[in-house]
Chain A
Amino acid sequence: MLESKKPPNTTNGSILKIERLKVHFPIERTILDTVLAKPIKVVKAVDDVSLDIREDEVIGLVGETGCGKSTIAKTILLMHPITSGEIIFEGTPIRSLSKDRRTGYFSKVQMVWQDPFSCLNPRMRVNDILSRPLLNFKRMGKREIRERMRELIRIVGLNENELSRYPHEFSGGGRQRIVIARALISEPTFLIADEPTSSLDVSIQAQILNLLKKLKDKYHFTMLFISHDLAVINFISNKVAVMYFGRVVEFMPKDHLLSKNFHWYTKSLIAAIPRGRRKIYASVSEERNYELNYDGCIYYHRCENAQEKCLSVVPDLKEYESHHFAACHYPNRP
């Protein structure tokens, strides 16, 4: 019933489109500030981000702490108000969704959270946790629900008799499997995974990443995979968006990530990843002193190729090669 609402081919393969999205949070003001009519200060968590996510793609969203990765995820799930811009899901702007249609939207857009210890209710059994999305979103009989749960729990690599257990009886990897099952049980077409493996050990991380890849091949959902780890992004995604201070500075096919990155920030991120070969480092790099009030490129103060123009003009995302965008005036051309 919900599936039939999908508009016929108006989306041109694009499932989720973010258009010049801004999410700003005002900093708290005192009454005095208001009386004196001081300008409202805002934190620009997401500033002018455009992304076009097509069906069946896995977009890796990578960036450092505080660059706005999770804010984008939460905004897609309507947890933060949009300051300006638009998020369009299957042809409909999500801001204009009526209350009834939001339910349908949430059944199609699901999230795998970062910390499997805090996102499962410790007082609910696994079968309560898994059946909740079905009770909320689908009209299904008890038997049908039971069957779906049994099927899915096996697919994510757990045992049927574990359905009656509580979350604390599972290890971190087991819990993350439950979180993934909960996200997938309503058959979403779009899955957001916000650092799903960063709280897990590497051997468990490998299991979860393999599982996500397998499920992706089985169910053909589209995924927005958020991580700070470029190697993980490189493993799972087919397009990579690099964020820096609220902006997407580069958006490229995965093949370009290692060999043909244009933005200097991407280059420095890749260079910073430890490779396991013992190296001796001689010098300590120093940050450039910078003025906070300038209009130019946000990466100016750390960029190794910063020039005068970068201080005064904000670079827009420009298509340097087909499907490869970078926001840089003087891109790195390897």
Chain B
Amino acid sequence: MDRNDGRILDLKDVTTRFRFGERQLIAVNNVSMHVDRKEIVGIVGESGCGKSMTAFSILGIVPHPGETAAGQIIFQGKSLLGMSRKDLRKLRGAGISLIYQDPLSSLNPSFTVYWHLNEVLRAHRPDLSKKDKNHLVLDALKRVGIPNPEDKINQYPHQFSGGMRQRVVIAMALILNPSLIIADEPTTALDVTTQKEIFNLIEKLKEDLSLSFIVISHDLYLIGERCDRIYVMYSGQIVESGNSVDIFERPFHPYTVGLLNSIPKLAPGIGELETIEGDVQNLMDLPKACFFSTRCKFSDEVCKSTIQSLEEIEKGRMARCWKVKNRQIQQTVRS
């Protein structure tokens, strides 16, 4: 495999679970995915589907009592799961960094912007002189498109607009030159016009600095527009993956089709939206069945009694549905 040279992150059968005495909740269920150099990979799904937990598993920050119990996470040739806490800590920020959802709560209101950026350097680069640190801070702020950073570094987060705050958070993620940035719903708290600017910035950074991104979002349209490859998650599993253009043109899994049809579109004359009936799977009590079978309109006895595996349908396209694999169902996405 020649493409392996550019592979930055490789997840193989990662399972993250939370233990509550006898019972356990499987938040991430056998997830395999990869990220190549200069690639924007999207993870999409509804709340509670395990998108964020996958990101937390990569960074080793799954909250107690959760643990990544099985699988392999390989980042630039190194396995992260067996790594010591000290080494992992060095890696966070310098190798992989995280952009949180809400720029209001990921910045401390009582400290200046400079303090936030400098904190990263204090923790990771104690060898640098104050002058070098200043230089790095200004440089990072310039890169994320904050005008006149010299005047802004002593301001407090509340003096910034939402978009500018998120730029500061991105600058914090960038300052140590990581090769992978995980953005967990980076624009959910922002307006669409600001969202557009932030994603323009992400794509510019990708080009300028040869970065890779994992973007997590519930917005399938946003992910489709901005990502090269997409993983669709449902109940902790990946149910479909592939190139973003292909997934939008010909989605395979009934869940992806349902999601696409339930989003109101900017088109005239829609009578009624298609809905996905029923409730999501209880992750504490997983059945021996396709997890989507309770809500799927195509499900039958076979779906309700066998566990589905993720299979390659076409080159580069995976889906977790035996009916899709056998070409037994016809689905259309309403344009």
Question: Which residue numbers of A lie inside 8 Å of B, CB to CB?
Answer: 64-65, 171, 201-203, 205-207, 209-210, 213, 228-232, 234-235, 255, 258-259, 268-281, 283-286
Residues of B within 8 A of A285 (CB): 197, 200
Q: Determine if A203 and B262 form an interchain contact, defined as CB atoms under 8 angstroms apart.
A: yes
Q: Determine if B266 and A270 form an interchain contact, defined as CB atoms under 8 angstroms apart.
A: yes
A117 → B minimal CB distance (Å)? 12
A10 → B minimal CB distance (Å)? 35
CA distance A285 to B203 in the complex (A): 13
Q: Determine if B262 and A206 form an interchain contact, defined as CB atoms under 8 angstroms apart.
A: yes
A-B pairs, top 5 by smallest CB distance, nearest first, are A276-B224, A206-B262, A206-B273, A235-B264, A203-B276
Hey, what's the 0/1 contact readout for B243-277 against A, CB within 8 Å counting as 1?
A: 01100100000000011101111111010111111
Q: Determine if A171 and B279 form an interchain contact, defined as CB atoms under 8 angstroms apart.
A: yes
Q: Determine if B248 and A276 form an interchain contact, defined as CB atoms under 8 angstroms apart.
A: yes
Closest to B40 in A: A278
Chain B CB within 10 Å, residue with most, of A202, A255, A286 = A202
Q: Determine if B193 and A268 form an interchain contact, defined as CB atoms under 8 angstroms apart.
A: yes
Asked if B199 CB lies within 8 Å of chain A CBs, one says yes
Asked if B150 CB lies within 8 Å of chain A CBs, one says no
Closest to B199 in A: A281
10 A-B residue pairs with CB within 8 Å: A64-B193, A201-B218, A202-B218, A206-B263, A269-B192, A274-B225, A276-B248, A277-B224, A279-B226, A286-B145
Residues of B within 8 A of A280 (CB): 203
Q: Determine if A231 and B272 form an interchain contact, defined as CB atoms under 8 angstroms apart.
A: no
CA distance A289 to B28 in the complex (A): 47
Q: Determine if A231 and B265 form an interchain contact, defined as CB atoms under 8 angstroms apart.
A: yes
From A205, A258, A269, B262 is in contact (CB under 8 Å) with A205
From B46, B200, B224, B227, A202 is in contact (CB under 8 Å) with B46
Total count of chain B residues near the partner, CB < 8 A:
47
Residues of A within 8 A of B102 (CB): none
Question: Which residue numbers of B lie inside 8 Å of A, CB to CB?
Answer: 46-47, 145, 162, 191-197, 199-201, 203-204, 218-222, 224-228, 244-245, 248, 258-260, 262-268, 270, 272-277, 279
From A213, A274, A283, A284, B221 is in contact (CB under 8 Å) with A274
Chain B CB within 10 Å, residue with most, of A171, A206, A286 = A206
Q: Determine if B226 and A274 form an interchain contact, defined as CB atoms under 8 angstroms apart.
A: yes
A168 → B minimal CB distance (Å)? 15
CA distance A42 to B274 in the complex (A): 45
Q: Determine if A258 and B228 form an interchain contact, defined as CB atoms under 8 angstroms apart.
A: no
User: How many A-B residue pairs lie within 8 Å, measured between CB atoms?
Assistant: 121
CA distance A286 to B200 in the complex (A): 11
Q: Determine if A201 and B196 form an interchain contact, defined as CB atoms under 8 angstroms apart.
A: no
Chain A CB within 10 Å, residue with most, of B218, B262, B274 = B262
Q: A213-B272, A269-B192, A284-B200 are in contact. Are A276 and B220 (CB under 8 A)?
A: yes
Q: Determine if A274 and B197 form an interchain contact, defined as CB atoms under 8 angstroms apart.
A: no
Q: Determine if B273 and A273 form an interchain contact, defined as CB atoms under 8 angstroms apart.
A: no
CA distance A230 to B162 in the complex (A): 20
From B46, B193, B260, A201 is in contact (CB under 8 Å) with B46
Q: Determine if B259 and A202 form an interchain contact, defined as CB atoms under 8 angstroms apart.
A: yes
From A171, A201, A234, A283, B264 is in contact (CB under 8 Å) with A234
Closest to A254 in B: B268
Q: Determine if A258 and B219 form an interchain contact, defined as CB atoms under 8 angstroms apart.
A: no
Q: Determine if A231 and B192 form an interchain contact, defined as CB atoms under 8 angstroms apart.
A: no
Residues of A within 8 A of B196 (CB): 271-272
From A234, A277, A281, A286, B266 is in contact (CB under 8 Å) with A234
Closest to A63 in B: B191
Closest to A65 in B: B191
CA distance A229 to B193 in the complex (A): 11
Q: A171-B279, A207-B275 are in contact. Are A278 and B200 (CB under 8 A)?
A: no
Q: A232-B264, A275-B225 are in contact. Are A203 and B46 (CB under 8 A)?
A: yes
Given contact pairs A203-B275, A234-B266, enumerate 20 new A-B contacts (beta carbons under 8 Å). A65-B162, A203-B46, A206-B274, A206-B276, A207-B275, A210-B273, A229-B264, A231-B263, A231-B264, A232-B264, A258-B266, A269-B192, A272-B196, A276-B225, A276-B260, A278-B224, A278-B227, A278-B228, A281-B200, A284-B200
CA distance A163 to B266 in the complex (A): 37
Residues of A within 8 A of B277 (CB): 207
Closest to A173 in B: B279
CA distance A276 to B244 in the complex (A): 8
CA distance A202 to B263 in the complex (A): 6
Residues of B within 8 A of A271 (CB): 196
CA distance A283 to B201 in the complex (A): 9
Chain A CB within 10 Å, residue with most, of B47, B225, B259 = B225
CA distance A331 to B266 in the complex (A): 22
Closest to A234 in B: B266
Closest to B278 in A: A203
Q: Determine if A201 and B47 form an interchain contact, defined as CB atoms under 8 angstroms apart.
A: yes
Residues of B within 8 A of A64 (CB): 191-194
CA distance A206 to B261 in the complex (A): 9
